[in-house]
Chains A and B, each alone.
Chain A
Amino acid sequence: MTWPTIARKEFADALGSRMLWAIVIIIALMTSLSAGLSLLIPEMEPDAAVAIGGASQFAALLVPIMALIAAYLAIAGERESGSLKVLLGLPPSRGEVLVGKFLGRGGVVAIGLVLGFLVSGVVTVAIYGGLPLTAFVGTTALTALLGVSFVGIAIGISALTATRARAMTLAITAYLRLTLLWDLVPNAVHLLVTGEMPGQVVPAWLLLLQGLSPTGAYNALAQALLLGSGTAVEARIGGPAPAYLHPGVFLAIMLVWTLLPLVVGYLGFRRADLS
């Protein structure tokens, strides 16, 4: 078993390169900013839960790109530099390298996000004099999971690519498709099926389509956490929520997005010629 050694080294590298602290600072700043937004906009009702919701909105855009940056070179970078030949000339198998890299980088991203959220938690308490603990802890955990999901995607990409440039291209593509452009898919399907764009009240399957991306699933779970799992959905579809919109489904989607890229990456990496 060599993956714990590889994971430890990845973690130590991230500390040495200040990657961890960069994540902490960016997340702390952004989430604190969203917590303090109600102070800047006088019309807003001061509310800690709304502040956490705002923080999760920020996180949904920021965390994927940070996690991709933190991990997309994990294997491809070593392959291009040639250090992968040294590493694989030692006992670790390709699978162990992949697992070690994922755990090490995933750990860095998760810990960085949690520390960043803790800072904003302190800021929220300072501003509002209190904190809805369940919502805060849940959102923090969800955000960490979102980060780990995108680390899984990044490691999968890194395992499939031989050069840094190719890995970067795929990482940017993954970010655009899974985070920024994903909503175009359910909207296009809605347009094809009903002949018009989604309105105030939408069919239940549209919410499922929106939640099929890791970021979409994260958003669905964050809303369920802040507004209560039933109410968030029922308000959108104007009726009782079907079973497939249960939070467990979205949690499963996030886990699939973590593991599937790793498996696909491994299958490609296992057969790759590293010369």
Chain B
Amino acid sequence: MYHMNAVHSPDTTAGRSSAAESVAIKTSGLTKRYGSDVLAVDDVDLTVHDGEVFGFLGPNGAGKSTTIDVIMDYVRPTAGSATVLGFDAQEEPREIHRRVGILPDGYGLYDRLSGRKHLEYAIDLKGTDDDPADLLNRVGLDVTAAERSVGGYSKGMTQRLALAMALVGDPDLLILDEPSSGLDPNGVRLVREIVREQADRGKTVFFSSHILSQVEAVCDRVAILNRGRLVAVDSIDGLRDALGTGSTVTLTVDEVPAELSLAGISGVTTVTTDGRTVSATVQDPEAKVAVIDRIREDGAAILDVSIEDSSLEDLFTAYTGAAPPGIDPETAPATGAGDASDAASRETSASDDSGEVAR
């Protein structure tokens, strides 16, 4: 894919090769160690192509922010290198910062300054001619709010302002680190819209988050980082295929048959039960009907049927070996006590199975 882009990329601006032009972010053997015992980023090779929306997923503490810190030259790598838009992150940070907009992790703003002053400061420092009103409009901050001091802003307003500052100078690459934290559903939708706008205009977006549904909604490709290591890079469809988790058929029955023979059906990989619910993971679409037929043959009456494609949560769990924080509890694997414990242990073995499929 990288080579195809490199060959077919027709526009080359002066001073930069076509190969550099087609790669927005490239890290090689990137490693960051804090002290002697904390390995925050471990030998990460990552390539983000020009014009793509790239999701950077991982649980909290996986090393996502540290990777971004190196890309932005906030921290220096212990080993390896990072290139952004063809410029070396450590040698040419100014060239990068001129072309990149960032919403950093753990950022702060100036409490005594108004929202508008913040934007004017960013515009001055970047030497662009953006109109603050346009930027405010883009992030849905009204003009009267922009005249107030940021010290009185809610988390959501602060986040919108920081996003507007990241958009100053129409950046070629927008780096968003947990952009949805503190935002209400409208704000989350706004972030998604801005990402799509950037993508429609051929800009690159690097979207780091531990919230899977948001990455799933906007990203072309996804990298999963766990304990500092890159464990997967693919499109979301590609990840699904690679894992082969397929779909889950969930049946509510009057009584779970004592002799459940679903596991014998071709195309069914795992079967779990919980109370009166039976879930079967199937690889082939035809197997869904076979599951329904077979459970009737086993002697159960079906009360309800639901079919779900595997969610990114499942993929995530398979790759990182743990349910990520921040996911909807309803879709999280059952971990209840008491009579559910048996089902919970079977859930665990089910995800182990799907992990083996990946290997």
Contact = CB atoms under 8 A, between A and B. Distances in A.
Nearest to A78: B108
Nearest to A79: B108
B106 interface: yes
Interface stretch (B66-74, B247-255, B261-269): B66-74
A229 to B, nearest CB: 45
A5 B126 CA distance: 10
B76 A273 contact: yes
Interface stretch (A9-17, A105-113, A142-150, A252-260): A9-17
A82 B76 contact: no
A42 interface: no
B125 A2 contact: yes
Contact of B75 (A5, A83, A91, A275): A275
Interface string A79-100: 0011101111111110000000
Contact of B109 (A2, A5, A9, A83): A83
Contacts of B166: 89
A274 interface: yes
Interface string B136-163: 0000000000000000000000000010
Contacts of B73: 88
A143 B73 CA distance: 39
B162 A275 contact: no
A85 B74 contact: yes
B2 interface: no
B95 to A, nearest CB: 9
A17 B105 CA distance: 28
A88 B97 CA distance: 8
A85 B168 CA distance: 15
Contacts of A275: 65-66, 69, 74-75
Contacts of A6: 125
B125 A92 contact: yes
B122 interface: yes
Interface in B96-149: 97-98, 100-102, 104-110, 112-113, 121-122, 124-127
Contacts of B100: 89
B199 interface: no
Interface in A254-275: 271, 273-275
Interface in B20-78: 34, 65-66, 69, 72-76
A228 to B, nearest CB: 47
B159 to A, nearest CB: 12
Contacts of B113: 13
A86 B162 contact: yes
A9 B121 contact: yes
A83 B112 contact: no
A5 B97 contact: no
B107 A85 contact: yes
- Residue from B73, B76, B106, B121 whose CB has the most chain A CB atoms within 10 Å: B121
A89 B102 contact: yes
Given A2-B125, A273-B75, A273-B76, A91 B107 contact: no
Contacts of A90: 97, 122, 125-126, 168
Contacts of A273: 34, 69, 74-76
A91 B94 CA distance: 5
A93 B125 CA distance: 11
B58 to A, nearest CB: 16
A13 B109 contact: no
A5 B125 contact: yes
Contacts of A91: 94, 97-98, 125-127
Contacts of B122: 86, 90
Given A2-B125, A13-B112, A91-B127, A82 B94 contact: no
Contacts of B97: 88-91
A87 B126 CA distance: 10
Contacts of B165: 86
Contacts of A92: 125
A163 B113 CA distance: 21
Interface string B78-94: 00000000000000011
Given A91-B97, A274-B75, A16 B112 contact: yes
Given A82-B106, A86-B162, A93-B94, A271 B76 contact: yes
12 contacts: A13-B110, A13-B113, A82-B108, A85-B108, A86-B107, A86-B108, A86-B162, A89-B104, A90-B122, A91-B126, A275-B66, A275-B74
Given A16-B112, A82-B107, A275-B66, 4 more contacts: A82-B106, A85-B106, A90-B126, A90-B168
Interface of B: 34, 65-66, 69, 72-76, 93-94, 97-98, 100-102, 104-110, 112-113, 121-122, 124-127, 162, 165-166, 168
